[in-house]
Amino acid sequence: MRRIAASLIMLSFLGLIVTGIAFAKKETMVGGKYYPPNLNPIKVKEFCQEIQPLWQKQLQLSSELRVLWGQNPPNWEAIQQKEIEIQKIRVEIQKKAYEKGLPYGPRKGLNFRKLCGW
């Protein structure tokens, strides 16, 4: 009985490993960072340098937005303005990704924070 249980556990473990390998996302490692296939690391580096000020601005606006949400009562006009500014920055980042030939958009975009090391 123990042999059967041990065999089933071993088979399920191996099946889990094989399934994980079969469905794993293919990425290549270049310069210590993971890049999806067919992605030029030079363009990614240029993209990261261009959007760093935008990313910092977005972080600043997000923290200001948290403060506004914490007020009692919330200032709805200020919250709306911050949300609009944040969305404009997101669109600008996607535009720059498009210009560099990188994947862009909310669903198919690349994880630039992972690529840029932020």
Is residue 73 reached through a cis peptide bond, with omega within 30 degrees of 0 on the bond before it?
Answer: yes
The HSE-up count of residue 35 (CA atoms within 13 Å, CB side) is 17
What is the distance between the alpha carbons of residues 103 and 23, in angstroms, rounded to a whole number? 21
Q: CA nearest 91: which of 58, 59, 118? A: 58
Residue 28 predicted with pLDDT over 50: no
Chain segment 34-68, per-residue pLDDT in tens: 556 677 788 888 889 999 999 999 999 999 999 99
- Record the tokens describing residue 47, joined without a space: 């993209």
- Taking residue 96's Cβ as centre, other Cβ atoms within 10 Å add up to 17
